[in-house]
Structure 1
Amino acid sequence: MRKKLWTISAVMLFAVMTLSACTGTSSVRHRNTNTETSTAVNADKSTGVIRKIDKDTNNIVIYSVDDGTKTIYSYDKGTTAYTKSGNVMSFDKLSCGDIVDIECNNTNQKIKKISISSRNKVWENTKVTNFKVDESTMTMKIGQSLYSYSDSTFVFSDGEEIDISELNSEDRLIVRGYDTSVCSVVVDKGHGYVTLSGDQLFTGGYVDIGGRVVKVIEEGMLLIVQEGSYKIEVRNGKYVADKQITVTRDEKTVADFSDVAPIVTETGNVRINVNVSEAVLTVDGAVMSANEVLTLAAGKHTIKVSADGYSDYSTQIEVDKGYKTIDVTLKAAADDETSKETKSETQTETETATTDSSGNVVSQKNKVTVSGPEGGYIYFDGKYMGTAPVTFALVTGEHVISVLYNKQINSYTVNLSEGGDDVKYDFTSK
């Protein structure tokens, strides 16, 4: 009798241990949640977020939106699922990240009914692209709304669980939550990576990927782009070439221009950034768009910028091969008159600080060190920094660190600020 009980217990333990992710048998990455499994359900109704569905064992793992309790339910082929409005749907339509209402048998925790939650305060935002995650405060801003998240907030990409830091501004998300808390994030449209090859003729010019990503071409650069098909164009002065590429989620696409004959043009490219959105830009008397890449004939051009309430700006520029960025800061008319009458004899620390092209401060004392994975290729905002361990200057603001290691690329969003200790990262265990 004792041997029989031991056999039954071992089988049950094996079933629990082999519970897999939504895709079947693959293990969950990046998260180790210690919330205890519920062994007794006090009520036969509950609401929670789906973390795992195991079609081999017919088990489904739910985390309560009320207290984060983990419960493993069972189901069978006859279990029916319902939409939020109460219509019958296939059980296979359920997926990780869904928030569901459960009715079950208290005795064996077998699901009687499961439906997309219609509970008050449960919400869903789709096609989310305007978001920002702050790991220091464990908050997520979607548009103008601020939500909190916790260790029981699960993030999924292609059915696999990922760390929230792996989300990228190029991603499109489905975000679900309860009240002011985020319960799950599903990457609806993810990002991949693009590198250039055979681009020596275009180094120093710029690359434009479907209008989504426009960057100055640097040796060894890595570009993060939303998955999809694009026309990629490279320009450098009078040389221009383009081709079609397809970017696949989490994979690297090499755009090789060695087999593309460049078209020779007598033009150059310039982007004129103006700090006043309603300003009018003219180039040689013709009205053109500010804050966009312009293709102009090679040679000298006169630009003028004007806006109501601001002093006019005028200068001459030289357009040749390569890509230029010109920043124009219009001054309020009253401030400009004052500055003409009196000149300050001192400069503020901000005025003398080194800044990058986005206006972020490049620290003169703080450094960032990426120690692992050792030997991994490290990119900072797409710029190759070296192999780990590698140290470089801290640049304030939100940035993306990408790691290429063992033919796999992962990206992590970080927020950096100046004034404290040097920042150190080790992505070995990520």
Structure 2
Amino acid sequence: MKGNKKLVMGILSVSVVSLISLMLLILSGVGRFISPDKTNAAPAQLSKIAQPTTTANNTIEGVVMSVSDSTINLENILTNQDISIQIVASTKITDKYNKEIPLSQIGMGEIVKASYTPNEKEALTVQIHPLSWEHSNINSNQIQLNKLTIGTRIASVSDVKIILGDGNEQLSDLSVIDDYDKLFIKGLNDQVYSIKIMEGSSFIKLVDLPATSGRLEINNNRQILDVANNDLIGIEAGTHHLALFIDEYDPIILDSVSIETGQVYELSATGIKQKEYTVTVQVNNNKKPYELYVDDYYYDMGEQILLPKGDYTLDIVSEGFQDYSQVFRVSNNMMLYPILTPVAEPEVTPEVTPEVTPEPQVTPEPQASSGDYTINFNTIPEGAAIFVDGEYLGVTPISAKLGEGIYKIELELAGYERYSTTIIIEKAEVRTNYLYMLIPQ
């Protein structure tokens, strides 16, 4: 019994020692796993150094110069450099609010932000620039001195990247834009980068003008003062009120003239009527019949004479009076006072008879003495020297005392043609006021 007890104690001792050894072995392995020695650390460090690095993608803010199913060509708005990036299946295309859209909504002139791989230049994202703005139906005449004014916004047009015609063709520069083109513009901040002509100007051309001085009024709010240069006059398409005024001609007034986009409307002055002035002729020939001609054109007595501006010759024929001729100039409504000179009766030689007849006593009729009538003379303009029967009387306006008879009146004024006429003073009908219009030389 005592021997068995020793055997059991020996077995237990061996078991305890084995268990302790196993625990030490386990703890040693765990410690090595948690805290590797320097020999095992080296491969981990080499592995970390050999791992490849990732390069950052490129970004650009630019204007779309052209676009296809696979490529977008941009001009960098900061560097003015051109770049082409490829559109691939994974390219994300969005509007300015980051909502996905098809590539077809990205057109020439669009301002975008894009990211792409530096080597392959494959587009990762293409977004309509979130800060871009646009305006349509802009009148091209809102562009002045490289500035575009839209309400309170003033934007520069000094760095426009692309200009498109109404057929989407690229144009060279701002000079090809006519004054009344309708524009669609896009910009960023205070700079316009893209301009498209939505609707081209219409034009007016003046033809067959009889003179070069005048003006064209459009819609009662625009005047073209230089009608002689024969240039095309830009105008918006639509319905317009036109009025053409040529000096010394009646105006041409056209209401509701419809002009289409791009049309050249010819406003012709063919048949325009020259402006006429009234010339009143008061013939002083004792109210006898007469024939009156202006430049050999016959006018009845009392007929209204209408003449355009210019120089003319007046001729009057009346029985018992000398033929009358006078050159006059029409520049406004006017009156003429031609005085006809009676034809002197020929002297009659009495027949000689052999009979001697005592000469009868003849009592002479009393003659009106000089100074019986006060005659007033005046001229337009005043200040002309006046001569009566060759004797200097003074300057107009002036009055003179004259008796009955026929007097030759002569008028002289520097810068005007010398005027000569005859007046008759008769007791039966005395005219006391004479007004003469002098003709400039």
TM tier relative to shorter chain: 0.3 to 0.5
